[in-house]
Chains A and B, each alone.
Chain A
Amino acid sequence: MDLVSISNLRTYYQTGFGEVKAVDDVSLVLFANEILGVAGESGCGKSTLSLSILKLVPPTTKISGNVFYHGNDLIRMSESELTKIRWKKISVVYQGAMNAFNPLRRCRDQVAEAILIHEDCKKATASERAAKLLQTVGIDPQSCDKYPHELSGGMRQRAMIAMAISCNPELVIADEPTTALDVIVQDQILNLMQDLQRKLHLSVLFVSHSLLTIGEICNRIAIMYAGKLVELGDVASIFKNPRHPYTQGLIASNPKMKTSKEDETEWRSIPGGPPSLIQPPSGCRFHVRCASSQDQCRKCEPRMREIESGHYAACYIA
């Protein structure tokens, strides 16, 4: 079942240097009860895509297209209508939990604040629920009343997740929730999110630059490059059979442990860096860095097409 369907979403930031086309004509469907990963290099529009769903972008930003949620277009909603959706239906786990907490207030109060804003209940009730939520995500009762800086990075991220699920949302947007955590804690956070997703029947939009974390917990993966969606498919088919050269490059650039001498798969990265989003390259935006680019790649932009059932790619040679 479709939960959120994004079509032709464009988010252009207005800056002093020109218009930054951070998300350019992206269409995507998010199913209920699934974890969809969005991967790509830094600055390719992953975070912008996820935050555009709730219009959490600077007020000068030009945003067009549709984001349908239960038949309503979130892009056309007024701020006051969006307020009813935000957090109550769709919530956000921000990257860098340290900065997402007010350093002057206790974690529990901040989780309770989220409940109080959306639900008509007493302060004590909200505080009670906040403590329970914090316990659900694995924070012991003594630590509930601590200030954010007294918690470790992993604990803060847990508290952030508790806040995200405080109003029983249907969809949680996780914007790089495991960045800046060490691998052991990353693993704990991923397991926690997976558990919660199953228990609470959530959908999760999981944004990360790390394909490995995404492969760990997601059902499907969307690969973005320079503001465009370039490949979409379920985890197994993307990892086993990546069709877009960019996806192939991303997968190849993950270092692997060499277990035997015969294991000769080379660790290579993609040459160059992501292009400017103010004046993106013509045609396929990846052609500048693509080893197998052809004439038509330079001239004409490839459309997303279904290569196998449920596996889409925007490439002529895929």
Chain B
Amino acid sequence: MSLRGKAIVLFVSFAMLLVIFVLASILIPYDSRHFGLPEEILLPPSLEHPFGTDEVGRDLFAQCIYGSRASLLVGVLAGLLSALIGTGVGLLAGYYGGRAGEFLMRVTDAFLVIPSLPLVLILLFLLGPRLDHTILILGLLGWPGISRVVRSQVLSFRERLFVERVKSLGASDLHVISHHILPAVMPIATANTILVSAVAILSESTISFLGLGDPLHLSWGTILHFSFSTGALNIGAYWYSLPPGMLIMLTTLYFTFVGNRLNAVFNPRSRERWI
């Protein structure tokens, strides 16, 4: 299969997964919050309960599907917020340079060196463990990588002859940035955004695992948190922690692959070369 074909397959399957996850509550037969009877506690996987049940008899498959919503929502929204800030800062710092650019890059560096996990935990503790807070905090901390990459690309594109030519046409800075620089850095920004999303999903899982997840929005990290606090693994209930763990890993991998393939497709040069 061509590179483009692979990318399309990856992208379409990704979109389908998203749809399934979003429509999950309609598709699955169990309520993830429904407590089971005493004999339904910690049942191993079966046809009736594909992922088994937890310590109060709730269906784990339903929980995993449900949990994807919070995890993906955090990934997508925090990624978008980071992309917005990171691309904006990178464009301005790269295109205008000078003192303002230097200042923006020092701010970026400051954000880059902050150990994000402790900061996220402290902020969540202060603001309260809510999903929107998680998204906001992860989004506001995830952008420096994007802005560095975007800036370095802008620096190189800014010096290209075609940019000089467009300027000599009499185009405004806004026109040059929006029509020539932004499209040129778009692929790399997109790829990096998706990588930031992967990190955001991972961070959200960590936060929830540590117990600062939104109690009203179940996520994969929360399931792991409960499996750990129940001591499920000690009694051999592997089905309690394995599915959410695998889902976190696969989703993160998926975001990374999609990011890389999108990059290859959006770039017109590689498209021609590899088809």
Contact = CB atoms under 8 A, between A and B. Distances in A.
B165 A100 contact: yes
Most A-side CB within 10 Å, residue of B160, B170, B180, B183? B170
Contacts of B175: 117
A102 B169 contact: no
Contacts of B99: none
A56 B184 CA distance: 23
Nearest to B180: A102
A118 interface: yes
Contact of B162 (A84, A101, A117, A149): A101
A56 B268 CA distance: 30
A87 interface: yes
A92 interface: yes
Interface in B123-173: 160-162, 164-166, 168-171
B164 A56 contact: yes
A147 interface: yes
B166 A102 contact: yes
Contacts of A99: 160-162
A100 B162 contact: yes
B6 interface: no
Contacts of B39: none
Contacts of B269: 103, 149
A114 B165 CA distance: 10
Contact of A92 (B162, B168, B180): B168
A56 B168 contact: yes
Contacts of B33: none
B48 interface: no
A177 to B, nearest CB: 13
B170 A94 contact: no
Name the interface size band of chain B.
Answer: 10 to 19
Contacts of A118: 169-170
Contacts of A84: 170
Nearest to B171: A117
A117 B169 contact: yes
Interface in A221-276: none
Interface string B170-212: 1100010001100110000000000000000000000000000
B187 to A, nearest CB: 9
Contacts of A117: 169-171, 175
A96 interface: yes
B170 A113 contact: no
A311 interface: no
B162 A102 contact: yes
Contacts of A83: 170
Contacts of A114: 169
B275 to A, nearest CB: 13
24 contacts: A56-B168, A82-B170, A83-B170, A86-B170, A87-B168, A87-B169, A88-B170, A92-B165, A92-B168, A99-B160, A99-B161, A101-B162, A102-B166, A102-B184, A103-B269, A104-B183, A113-B166, A113-B171, A113-B179, A117-B170, A117-B175, A118-B169, A149-B272, A150-B272
Interface of B: 160-162, 164-166, 168-171, 175, 179-180, 183-184, 268-269, 272
Given A102-B166, A103-B268, A114-B169, 10 more contacts: A54-B168, A84-B170, A87-B169, A94-B165, A104-B183, A105-B180, A105-B183, A117-B175, A147-B268, A150-B272
